[in-house]
Amino acid sequence: MIVMKFGGTSTEDAAAMRNVLRIVQAHHSHQPALVISAIARATNELEQISRSAALGRKDQALELLASLRRRHEKIVAETIVDRERKADLHAVLSDYCDGIAGHCIRLASVGSLTAKAMDAICSFGERMSSRVVAAILEENGIGTAWVDAADFMATDDNFGRARPLLPEVGEKLERIMTDCVSRGLVPVTQGFIGVTAEGDYTTMGRESSDYSATLIGSLLGAEKVQIWTDVDGILSGDPRTLKGVRKVRRMSFDEALHLSAFGAKVLHPTTMLPLIQKGIPLEILNSKRDGVAGTLLGATSLPARSLVKSIAHKRSVQVVRMRRGTSRNGWGWEGISNLFAEHGLNVLCSTFTLNEASLLTDKQQMGDELLAAARSLGEVTVEDEKSSVTLVGDGVGRSGAILSRLTALCAGEGISMIAGSAAASLTIVIDSARLTPVLQSLHREWIEAADDPEIFEPVS
């Protein structure tokens, strides 16, 4: 069997849904299980609806909800002809929207928003889109079973970033899958969402449908997982920022992990984890160009020749600099990393010397408590308005040649930090104002000039 995940842009309108149908038809003989994201922008809108309601702007929340509902209904009107199926689907969508409206009314009267309430509301995005996908497949003769993630994706109650409870998820999934296979049905379920032991919907973090798909694929021992999105695969850089990007034919899980952790939105950073141990391959494919080969991710990549395969970036990061004080207690890589982890700050990479430490983190205000704790170790300064640029490729983080060329190319760009994280990446932090020209110049140097046909393919 295979797992196929369709992201928001792959389900955003009737035309996109027809592509999904065609793709599933083409892969039907491989026994697909489908993992669906909310339609494009729906989760943002559901978050907005929650916030508006909690601020007492109930009418605004309900207006946004009506517009989200219209987007789903337009897709239904343009794809479903069968009267009974259409009526059933309308009833389900109505029910869901009433559910969201009920939450809004409660939030407006309470006047505050909890992560639990936000998850309850956001869970409707994936439930709506997956219902529509299942109905479209049925309409076109593909027997489907719509599976509520709440029937198997048991999680803890860490709302907003819940973690799955693994043996339980595996057992439940296995039973559902055996049942679908014996009835010859394609299961259609939701990414992103799960459920607590008390029956409350949870979410596993923004963009985490990728992770839902690989987790499901791993637990079911799928032959491969496919992530269908709106680009041809993993590209040599973010096409929204860079010109002349190439498609990367193959990448290792480790390289992809670095790429996503350092900002490439194409995959959620946890996506690779469930597949690594079992060595299940992952394909990234374009749902709008389904004949085109995508990027294949596996345990190993093509020749490890210290080649830069892609360049990731993150805007709005900050560099926290620490200089050791007179007290020796707590100073050291482990002590400082633990301190940041305990306060929930994700350290992307760091450099340490005997007396100095620099840590790259996503831009979050260092809370007073963390600042005070860090200051007990020494002098602390925080630089923001920074952006990170990360060269990714097996061996790149340990290549002296790449490091010296990078430093030369970026001389005069106000470099705040350079750090190699393990072998697969090398990160430089610069002023945000210089981000685009620096990205383009590094792309020219390492991708366009190299243009190795074994690794890259042009994007048409």
Among residue numbers 172 through 211, which ones bind ligand ASP (CB under 6 A)?
Answer: 191-192, 206-209
Identify which of 186, 242, 291, 294 has the alpha carbon closest to the alpha carbon of residue 438. 242
The answer to the question of residue 269 lying near ligand ASP (CB under 6 A) is no
- Are 271 and 211 in contact by the 8 Å Cβ rule? The answer is yes
| Tokens linked to 164 | 């799955």
The answer to the question of residue 43 lying near ligand ASP (CB under 6 A) is yes
Smallest separation (angstroms) from Mg ion to the CB of 213: 11
The answer to the question of residue 204 lying near ligand ADP (CB under 6 A) is no
Length of the chain: 460
Nearer to ligand ADP, 9 or 388 (CB): 9
| Tokens linked to 335 | 């002590």
**Binding partner of 282, given ligand ASP, Mg ion, ligand ADP, none, CB within 5-8 angstroms per partner class:** none
Total binding residues toward ligand ADP, as defined by CB under 6 A: 19
Site string for ligand ASP, 123-152 (x = CB under 6 A): --x---------------------------
Long-range contacts of 333-341 (CB under 8 A, 24+ apart): 333/357, 335/377, 336/374, 336/377, 339/370, 339/373, 339/374, 339/377, 340/370
Q: How many CA atoms lie within 13 A of 84 on its CB side?
A: 2
Nearer to ligand ADP, 119 or 210 (CB): 210
CA–CA separation, 248 vs 284, rounded Å? 10
Nearer to ligand ADP, 234 or 349 (CB): 234
Nearer to ligand ASP, 208 or 270 (CB): 208
- Are 251 and 295 in contact by the 8 Å Cβ rule? The answer is yes
Binds Mg ion (CB under 5 A): choice among 207, 254, 283, 394: 207
**Binding partner of 191, given Mg ion, ligand ADP, ligand ASP, none, CB within 5-8 angstroms per partner class:** ligand ASP
Q: Given the rule CB under 5 A, which of 3-11, 39-47, 138-146, 443-451 is the region that contacts Mg ion? A: 3-11
Nearer to Mg ion, 207 or 283 (CB): 207
Q: Given the rule CB under 6 A, which of 174-182, 260-268, 380-388, 416-424 is the region that contacts ligand ADP? A: 260-268
Nearer to ligand ADP, 94 or 316 (CB): 316
Smallest separation (angstroms) from ligand ADP to the CB of 233: 7
Residue 171 CB coordination number (10 Å) = 13
- Are 283 and 226 in contact by the 8 Å Cβ rule? The answer is yes
Nearer to ligand ASP, 38 or 402 (CB): 38
Nearer to ligand ASP, 45 or 394 (CB): 45
Nearer to ligand ASP, 204 or 373 (CB): 204
Residue with tokens 């007990």: 376
Smallest separation (angstroms) from ligand ADP to the CB of 436: 14
- Are 222 and 208 in contact by the 8 Å Cβ rule? The answer is no
Total binding residues toward ligand ASP, as defined by CB under 6 A: 12
Q: Given the rule CB under 5 A, which of 81-89, 160-168, 202-210, 442-450 is the region that contacts Mg ion? A: 202-210
**Binding partner of 235, given ligand ADP, Mg ion, ligand ASP, none, CB within 5-8 angstroms per partner class:** ligand ADP
**Binding partner of 170, given ligand ASP, ligand ADP, Mg ion, none, CB within 5-8 angstroms per partner class:** none
**Binding partner of 17, given ligand ADP, ligand ASP, Mg ion, none, CB within 5-8 angstroms per partner class:** none
The answer to the question of residue 207 lying near ligand ADP (CB under 6 A) is yes
Smallest separation (angstroms) from ligand ASP to the CB of 37: 4
CA–CA separation, 268 vs 427, rounded Å? 19
- Are 1 and 28 in contact by the 8 Å Cβ rule? The answer is no
The footprint of Mg ion (CB under 5 A) covers 7, 207
Q: Which residues bind ligand ADP (CB under 6 A)?
A: 7-10, 37, 207, 229-231, 234-235, 237-240, 264-266, 310
